[in-house]
A and B are shown apart, each in its own frame.
Chain A
Amino acid sequence: MVQKLDTLVETPSQTAGPYVHIGCIPSFAGLEGVYPEDLGLRAIEDGAEGEVITITGSIYDGTGWAMRDAMFESWQADASGRFAGQQGADPKVNGFCRFAADKDTGEFTLTTVKPGATPTRAGGQQAPHIALWIVARGINIGLQTRIYFEDEDNSADPLLARIEQRNRVETLVAKKTGEGQYRFDIYLQGAQETVFLDL
């Protein structure tokens, strides 16, 4: 016999379901009047330092259909690479945003500042990126991924370096479509399948 480990086990996830908006974005569900406003409406406040950017995209299921009921949460550093709560972080950057795919088109939009590079424990740097968490009907445990930017130097990023199939790296890189405009599409399955993360 050995001593018993006293760690607990994480509570199992369950799908957020088709009505996730009731709890997380009530106004999107047509539910008004309980809270003054939805949580996490804005990643940034007016006056945030850095380049304000807009990222649009869709999330496609395995049949190529743009999902209409997904909910996203993003979390990121400010323009100088500091997260809310860290010393010196830009007080105008919340870092957190919650948004949904459009009911009719399936397209989402995120307006934020382009994040700066962030440090690693090993003393290196991660290329600028936004962490993205996706829940929806049919997704049993929230999917983690990241948005990188095609106009940044991603060559030394430790996470991108771990992707064995180099042709999959581009699934995490948002394409620049105009001044301050990016496109980031997510594919749940198939030849263009987005890299999803476990970290």
Chain B
Amino acid sequence: MSDQAYIDQGPLIPRNRAAHPVPYDPDYKTSVPRSPNQPLLSMESTLSEETGPRFGHSMLGPLDNNLILNYSKDAAKPAVGERILMHGRVLDEMGRPVPHTLVEIWQANAGGRYRHVKDGYLAPLDPNFGGCGRTLTDENGCYEFLTIRPGAYPWPNRGNDWRPMHIHISVFGHSFGQRLITQMYFEGDPLIERCPIAATVKSRSQLDRLVAPLDMAKARPLDFLAYKFDIVLRGRRQTMFENRMEGL
């Protein structure tokens, strides 16, 4: 973790909960016993939410954002599947880039099988694919991963539910209150419309923001296709009238 000096940039902009999925959605069955019944307690953010962990380049290995090779660590043993570049920018609600923040991803392999002790799906593991990656955004908030496109997979929800192809993404931002985990879907996947997890996001325009477009401009001929996925985190509300905190 770095020791960058803390500067008070004001409270976090309150979360617009309508932009997010509903916590309780009977079509996503596990949410029924796992959603609070009582309303959340709202108030202005405090230091606990306005500060957060920082991670430096020293923790990263050279292949951490290359899921095609970071499990086998051997260029002669790449993961099997559709090679893709996943890239984008992390911004805040004010449109400012969020530089030097940790982005982590995880996903199933090309057949829809996760390398997790609890995944028993009959599609086989790929001996050369682990399924996790991480990177830091650059000074402009940009990040990229090289990976393979994950397969769809079935899950025990309703009688015949299948997750669309997706990559899980975790972003830290610069304060603990910005913490976000979400999922990226792929343009044109017909399973998105049938997925009860995607459907927990009730705003159509917000759901569309989880669908990454094919980005031919970033594709590398004879090597990989590309998908672009931008991420927006909460912003800060500092104004000229905001006071600095005492003693900071």
Whether the pair B28, A140 counts as a contact (CB closer than 8 A) is: yes
Q: Which chain B residue lies CB-closest to A115?
A: B48
Question: CA of A103 to CA of B116 in the docked complex: distance in angstroms?
Answer: 12
Main secondary structure of the interface of B (DSSP, over half): loop
Q: Which chain B residue lies CB-closest to A83?
A: B51
Q: Which chain A residue lies CB-closest to B171?
A: A11
Question: CA of A9 to CA of B6 in the docked complex: distance in angstroms?
Answer: 26
**Which residue in A67, A118, A199 is a CB contact (below 8 Å) of B177?**
A199
Is A174 in the interface zone, CB < 8 Å from B?
A: no
Whether the pair B55, A126 counts as a contact (CB closer than 8 A) is: no
**Which chain B positions have C-beta within 8 A of A87?**
5-6
Mark interface residues in A168-198 (1 if CB within 8 Å of B CB, else 0). 1000000000000000000011100111111
Main secondary structure of the interface of A (DSSP, over half): loop
Q: Which chain B residue lies CB-closest to A89?
A: B3
Interface residue total, chain B, C-beta cutoff 8 A? 98
Is A166 in the interface zone, CB < 8 Å from B?
A: no
Is A156 in the interface zone, CB < 8 Å from B?
A: no
Q: Which chain A residue lies CB-closest to B3?
A: A85
**Which chain B positions have C-beta within 8 A of A29?**
115-117
**Which chain A positions have C-beta within 8 A of B4?**
85
**Which residue in A16, A39, A133 is a CB contact (below 8 Å) of B168?**
A16
Give the residue among A34, A86, A118 with the most B Cβ atoms within 10 A: A34
Whether the pair A12, B20 counts as a contact (CB closer than 8 A) is: yes
CB distance from A148 to the nearest CB of B (A): 12
Whether the pair B44, A11 counts as a contact (CB closer than 8 A) is: no
A83-B47, A83-B51, A86-B6 known; A61-B116 Cβ under 8 A: no
Interface residue total, chain A, C-beta cutoff 8 A? 85
Is A47 in the interface zone, CB < 8 Å from B?
A: no
Q: Which chain B residue lies CB-closest to A26?
A: B132
Whether the pair A63, B207 counts as a contact (CB closer than 8 A) is: no
Is B147 in the interface zone, CB < 8 Å from A?
A: no
**Which residue in A120, A163, A188, A198 is a CB contact (below 8 Å) of B14?**
A198
* Stretch of B88-96, B135-143, B213-221 on the interface side: B88-96
Whether the pair A96, B1 counts as a contact (CB closer than 8 A) is: yes
Whether the pair B206, A131 counts as a contact (CB closer than 8 A) is: no
Whether the pair B51, A86 counts as a contact (CB closer than 8 A) is: yes
Whether the pair B243, A121 counts as a contact (CB closer than 8 A) is: yes
**Which chain A positions have C-beta within 8 A of B239?**
none
Whether the pair B36, A30 counts as a contact (CB closer than 8 A) is: no
Q: Can you report 23 residue pairs joining A to B where beta carbons are below 8 Å apart?
A: A9-B16, A10-B234, A12-B207, A13-B21, A14-B182, A23-B134, A23-B168, A31-B115, A31-B116, A33-B71, A39-B134, A77-B48, A121-B243, A131-B49, A135-B181, A138-B30, A140-B28, A141-B20, A189-B37, A190-B37, A195-B38, A196-B38, A199-B14
A residues sitting closer than 8 Å to B (CB atoms) are 6-24, 26, 29-31, 33-36, 39-40, 61-63, 65, 67, 69, 73, 75-77, 83-87, 89, 91, 94-96, 103, 118-121, 123, 126, 129, 131, 133, 135-144, 146, 158-159, 162-163, 168, 188-190, 193-199
